[in-house]
Protein backbone atom coordinates (compact mmCIF):
# COMPACT_ATOMS: atom_id res chain seq x y z
CA UNK A 1 0.00 0.00 0.00
CA UNK A 2 1.13 3.57 -0.70
CA UNK A 3 2.71 5.22 2.33
CA UNK A 4 0.63 7.98 3.84
CA UNK A 5 -2.60 7.01 2.08
CA UNK A 6 -5.55 6.40 4.42
CA UNK A 7 -6.60 2.75 4.49
CA UNK A 8 -10.29 2.03 4.00
CA UNK A 9 -12.49 -1.05 4.03
CA UNK A 10 -12.15 -1.14 0.24
CA UNK A 11 -8.37 -1.10 0.67
CA UNK A 12 -8.54 -4.15 2.94
CA UNK A 13 -10.86 -5.95 0.53
CA UNK A 14 -8.52 -5.15 -2.37
CA UNK A 15 -5.53 -6.69 -0.61
CA UNK A 16 -6.89 -10.17 -1.32
CA UNK A 17 -7.10 -9.50 -5.06
CA UNK A 18 -3.51 -8.26 -5.01
CA UNK A 19 -2.31 -11.28 -3.06
CA UNK A 20 -1.27 -9.16 -0.07
CA UNK A 21 -1.52 -10.75 3.36
CA UNK A 22 -3.42 -8.74 5.97
CA UNK A 23 -1.91 -8.24 9.42
CA UNK A 24 -4.56 -7.05 11.88
CA UNK A 25 -4.31 -6.41 15.62
CA UNK A 26 -6.57 -5.19 18.38
CA UNK A 27 -6.17 -1.76 19.92
CA UNK A 28 -7.97 -0.25 22.87
CA UNK A 29 -6.20 3.03 23.61
CA UNK A 30 -4.36 6.03 22.17
CA UNK A 31 -0.69 4.99 22.68
CA UNK A 32 -1.15 1.45 21.38
CA UNK A 33 -3.01 2.72 18.33
CA UNK A 34 -0.09 5.08 17.64
CA UNK A 35 2.51 2.33 18.02
CA UNK A 36 0.67 -0.22 15.89
CA UNK A 37 0.02 2.37 13.19
CA UNK A 38 3.69 3.35 13.15
CA UNK A 39 4.50 -0.35 12.74
CA UNK A 40 2.38 -0.38 9.59
CA UNK A 41 -0.56 -2.51 10.74
CA UNK A 42 -3.34 -1.78 8.20
CA UNK A 43 -6.36 -2.87 10.23
CA UNK A 44 -6.86 -2.00 13.90
CA UNK A 45 -9.83 -3.56 15.66
CA UNK A 46 -11.26 -2.14 18.84
CA UNK A 47 -12.43 -5.56 19.90
CA UNK A 48 -14.89 -6.41 22.62
CA UNK A 49 -12.01 -8.55 23.88
CA UNK A 50 -11.26 -5.36 25.81
CA UNK A 51 -13.74 -6.70 28.34
CA UNK A 52 -11.30 -9.44 29.30
CA UNK A 53 -7.88 -7.89 28.63
CA UNK A 54 -8.58 -4.32 29.78
CA UNK A 55 -11.65 -4.29 32.02
CA UNK A 56 -11.21 -7.63 33.79
CA UNK A 57 -14.52 -9.21 32.84
CA UNK A 58 -14.69 -13.02 32.62
CA UNK A 59 -15.85 -12.87 28.99
CA UNK A 60 -17.04 -10.46 26.31
CA UNK A 61 -20.72 -10.68 27.18
CA UNK A 62 -20.36 -7.99 29.85
CA UNK A 63 -19.09 -5.28 27.49
CA UNK A 64 -21.50 -2.40 26.87
CA UNK A 65 -21.92 -0.09 23.90
CA UNK A 66 -20.83 2.80 26.14
CA UNK A 67 -17.57 1.03 26.95
CA UNK A 68 -16.98 0.33 23.28
CA UNK A 69 -17.58 4.00 22.43
CA UNK A 70 -15.10 5.08 25.11
CA UNK A 71 -12.29 2.93 23.71
CA UNK A 72 -13.10 3.70 20.07
CA UNK A 73 -12.71 7.39 20.85
CA UNK A 74 -9.31 6.76 22.43
CA UNK A 75 -8.06 4.83 19.40
CA UNK A 76 -9.51 7.33 16.92
CA UNK A 77 -7.68 10.21 18.65
CA UNK A 78 -4.42 8.69 17.38
CA UNK A 79 -5.65 9.48 13.84
CA UNK A 80 -4.14 6.26 12.47
CA UNK A 81 -3.59 5.64 8.78
CA UNK A 82 -4.97 2.16 9.49
CA UNK A 83 -8.63 1.27 9.13
CA UNK A 84 -10.28 1.46 12.56
CA UNK A 85 -12.90 -1.23 13.09
CA UNK A 86 -15.02 -1.82 16.18
CA UNK A 87 -17.01 -4.73 17.54
CA UNK A 88 -20.73 -4.40 18.08
CA UNK A 89 -21.03 -5.68 21.66
CA UNK A 90 -23.26 -8.41 22.99
CA UNK A 91 -26.99 -7.85 22.47
CA UNK A 92 -26.45 -4.50 20.72
CA UNK A 93 -27.63 -5.83 17.34
CA UNK A 94 -30.51 -8.16 18.11
CA UNK A 95 -32.90 -6.22 15.84
CA UNK A 96 -32.34 -4.33 12.61
CA UNK A 97 -33.07 -1.04 14.39
CA UNK A 98 -30.67 -1.83 17.23
CA UNK A 99 -27.95 -2.93 14.83
CA UNK A 100 -28.01 0.26 12.77
CA UNK A 101 -28.30 2.47 15.86
CA UNK A 102 -25.35 0.75 17.56
CA UNK A 103 -23.23 0.84 14.41
CA UNK A 104 -23.90 4.54 14.00
CA UNK A 105 -22.92 5.16 17.62
CA UNK A 106 -19.55 3.48 17.08
CA UNK A 107 -18.99 5.40 13.83
CA UNK A 108 -19.81 8.65 15.62
CA UNK A 109 -17.15 7.70 18.18
CA UNK A 110 -14.57 7.29 15.40
CA UNK A 111 -14.94 3.76 14.00
CA UNK A 112 -14.63 3.39 10.23
CA UNK A 113 -16.13 -0.10 10.11
CA UNK A 114 -18.00 -2.41 12.48
CA UNK A 115 -17.88 -6.14 13.12
CA UNK A 116 -20.51 -8.51 14.50
CA UNK A 117 -20.65 -12.22 15.18
CA UNK A 118 -22.78 -14.57 13.11
CA UNK A 119 -23.98 -15.30 9.61
CA UNK A 120 -27.46 -15.99 8.34
CA UNK A 121 -29.10 -15.38 11.71
CA UNK A 122 -28.10 -11.70 11.56
CA UNK A 123 -28.11 -11.22 7.80
CA UNK A 124 -30.91 -8.65 7.84
CA UNK A 125 -28.99 -6.59 10.39
CA UNK A 126 -25.87 -6.79 8.23
CA UNK A 127 -27.72 -5.67 5.12
CA UNK A 128 -29.19 -2.73 7.03
CA UNK A 129 -25.77 -1.68 8.37
CA UNK A 130 -24.21 -1.84 4.90
CA UNK A 131 -27.19 -0.02 3.37
CA UNK A 132 -26.66 2.78 5.89
CA UNK A 133 -23.18 3.30 4.44
CA UNK A 134 -21.16 1.62 7.20
CA UNK A 135 -18.56 -0.97 6.15
CA UNK A 136 -19.13 -4.35 7.79
CA UNK A 137 -16.70 -7.13 8.73
CA UNK A 138 -18.11 -10.56 9.51
CA UNK A 139 -17.07 -13.02 12.21
CA UNK A 140 -17.62 -16.78 11.88
CA UNK A 141 -16.44 -19.88 13.69
CA UNK A 142 -16.08 -19.61 17.44
CA UNK A 143 -18.26 -16.71 18.54
CA UNK A 144 -17.01 -15.34 21.88
CA UNK A 145 -20.33 -13.64 22.60
CA UNK A 146 -21.88 -17.14 22.61
CA UNK A 147 -19.31 -18.61 25.00
CA UNK A 148 -21.80 -19.11 27.84
CA UNK A 149 -24.38 -20.98 25.79
CA UNK A 150 -21.69 -23.06 24.06
CA UNK A 151 -19.91 -23.87 27.29
CA UNK A 152 -16.46 -22.65 26.28
CA UNK A 153 -14.27 -22.05 23.27
CA UNK A 154 -14.35 -24.85 20.70
CA UNK A 155 -12.82 -25.47 17.28
CA UNK A 156 -15.49 -25.21 14.59
CA UNK A 157 -15.90 -26.99 11.26
CA UNK A 158 -14.65 -30.47 12.08
CA UNK A 159 -18.20 -31.84 12.07
CA UNK A 160 -19.97 -31.91 8.71
CA UNK A 161 -23.00 -29.83 9.81
CA UNK A 162 -20.68 -27.12 11.14
CA UNK A 163 -18.61 -27.28 7.96
CA UNK A 164 -21.65 -26.82 5.75
CA UNK A 165 -23.02 -24.04 7.97
CA UNK A 166 -19.74 -22.13 7.75
CA UNK A 167 -19.76 -22.31 3.94
CA UNK A 168 -23.36 -21.12 3.75
CA UNK A 169 -22.81 -18.35 6.29
CA UNK A 170 -19.72 -17.13 4.45
CA UNK A 171 -21.64 -16.97 1.18
CA UNK A 172 -24.39 -15.02 2.94
CA UNK A 173 -21.90 -12.49 4.31
CA UNK A 174 -20.53 -11.90 0.83
CA UNK A 175 -24.02 -11.43 -0.57
CA UNK A 176 -24.89 -8.99 2.22
CA UNK A 177 -21.89 -6.79 1.38
CA UNK A 178 -19.27 -7.60 4.02
CA UNK A 179 -15.76 -6.45 3.06
CA UNK A 180 -13.96 -9.16 5.08
CA UNK A 181 -14.63 -11.92 7.58
CA UNK A 182 -12.77 -13.00 10.71
CA UNK A 183 -12.53 -16.78 11.11
CA UNK A 184 -11.98 -17.67 14.76
CA UNK A 185 -11.02 -21.21 15.77
CA UNK A 186 -12.12 -22.70 12.46
CA UNK A 187 -10.54 -26.02 11.49
CA UNK A 188 -7.60 -25.20 9.21
CA UNK A 189 -8.82 -27.22 6.18
CA UNK A 190 -12.21 -25.50 6.35
CA UNK A 191 -10.61 -22.08 6.73
CA UNK A 192 -8.52 -22.84 3.64
CA UNK A 193 -11.63 -23.88 1.72
CA UNK A 194 -13.47 -20.72 2.74
CA UNK A 195 -10.51 -18.58 1.74
CA UNK A 196 -10.56 -20.02 -1.77
CA UNK A 197 -14.35 -19.99 -1.96
CA UNK A 198 -15.23 -16.36 -1.23
CA UNK A 199 -13.99 -13.15 -2.90
CA UNK A 200 -13.55 -11.19 0.33
CA UNK A 201 -10.56 -11.57 2.68
CA UNK A 202 -10.58 -14.14 5.45
CA UNK A 203 -8.70 -13.01 8.54
CA UNK A 204 -7.90 -15.91 10.80
CA UNK A 205 -7.29 -16.31 14.50
CA UNK A 206 -6.47 -19.85 15.51
CA UNK A 207 -7.63 -21.03 12.07
CA UNK A 208 -4.39 -22.03 10.38
CA UNK A 209 -2.04 -20.15 8.11
CA UNK A 210 -3.98 -20.30 4.84
CA UNK A 211 -6.32 -17.37 5.50
CA UNK A 212 -5.82 -14.09 3.65
CA UNK A 213 -4.66 -12.52 6.89
CA UNK A 214 -4.26 -13.00 10.62
CA UNK A 215 -5.51 -11.11 13.65
CA UNK A 216 -4.41 -11.38 17.27
CA UNK A 217 -5.29 -9.71 20.53
CA UNK A 218 -2.28 -7.44 20.91
CA UNK A 219 -1.65 -8.09 24.64
CA UNK A 220 -1.53 -11.82 23.80
CA UNK A 221 1.07 -11.20 21.09
CA UNK A 222 3.20 -9.10 23.46
CA UNK A 223 3.02 -11.47 26.40
CA UNK A 224 1.26 -8.98 28.63
CA UNK A 225 -1.25 -11.48 30.03
CA UNK A 226 0.68 -14.38 31.60
CA UNK A 227 -2.49 -15.44 33.43
CA UNK A 228 -3.97 -16.74 30.17
CA UNK A 229 -2.64 -19.82 28.37
CA UNK A 230 -3.79 -19.74 24.74
CA UNK A 231 -3.04 -22.55 22.30
CA UNK A 232 -3.42 -20.42 19.16
CA UNK A 233 -0.85 -17.75 20.00
CA UNK A 234 2.78 -17.85 21.10
CA UNK A 235 3.82 -14.49 22.58
CA UNK A 236 6.63 -12.77 20.67
CA UNK A 237 7.63 -10.75 23.72
CA UNK A 238 7.63 -11.33 27.47
CA UNK A 239 6.35 -7.86 28.23
CA UNK A 240 4.78 -8.78 31.57
CA UNK A 241 8.07 -9.96 33.06
CA UNK A 242 9.97 -7.01 31.61
CA UNK A 243 7.43 -4.59 33.06
CA UNK A 244 7.59 -6.25 36.47
CA UNK A 245 11.39 -6.08 36.44
CA UNK A 246 11.46 -2.39 35.52
CA UNK A 247 8.87 -1.50 38.17
CA UNK A 248 10.73 -3.46 40.86
CA UNK A 249 13.99 -1.76 39.90
CA UNK A 250 12.38 1.67 40.07
CA UNK A 251 10.68 0.80 43.37
CA UNK A 252 14.11 -0.12 44.75
CA UNK A 253 15.57 3.25 43.75
CA UNK A 254 12.67 5.03 45.44
CA UNK A 255 12.93 3.02 48.65
CA UNK A 256 16.70 3.39 48.72
CA UNK A 257 16.76 7.14 48.18
CA UNK A 258 18.12 9.19 51.06
CA UNK A 259 15.88 11.79 52.66
Query: Which residues have a catalytic role annotated?
Result: 184
CA-CA distance, 76 to 149, in Å (whole number)? Answer: 33
Chain-centre distance for alpha carbon 60: 12
Contact predicate 198/177, CB 8 Å: no
**Secondary structure in 3-state letters for the chain:** CCCCCCCCHHHHHHHHHCCCCEEEEECCCHHHHHHHHHCCCCEEEECCCHHHHCCCCCCHHHCCHHHHHHHHHHHHCCCCCCEEEEECCCCCCCCHHHHHHHHHHHHHHCCCEEECCECHHHHHHHHHHHHCCCCEEEEEECCHHHHHHHCCCCCECCCHHHHHHHHHHHHHHHHHCCCEEEEECECHHHHHHHHHHCCCCEEEECCCCCCCEEEECHHHHCCCCCCCCCCCCCCCCCHHHHHHHHHHHHHHHHHHCCC
Contact predicate 59/89, CB 8 Å: no
Amino acid sequence: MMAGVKITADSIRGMKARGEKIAALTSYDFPMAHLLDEAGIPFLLVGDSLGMVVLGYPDTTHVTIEEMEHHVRAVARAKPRALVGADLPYRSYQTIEDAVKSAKRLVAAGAEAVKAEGGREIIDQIRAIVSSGIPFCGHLGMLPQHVLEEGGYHLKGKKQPEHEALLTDADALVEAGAFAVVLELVAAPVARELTHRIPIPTIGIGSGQDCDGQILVTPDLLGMLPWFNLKHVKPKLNAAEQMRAVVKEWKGTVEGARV
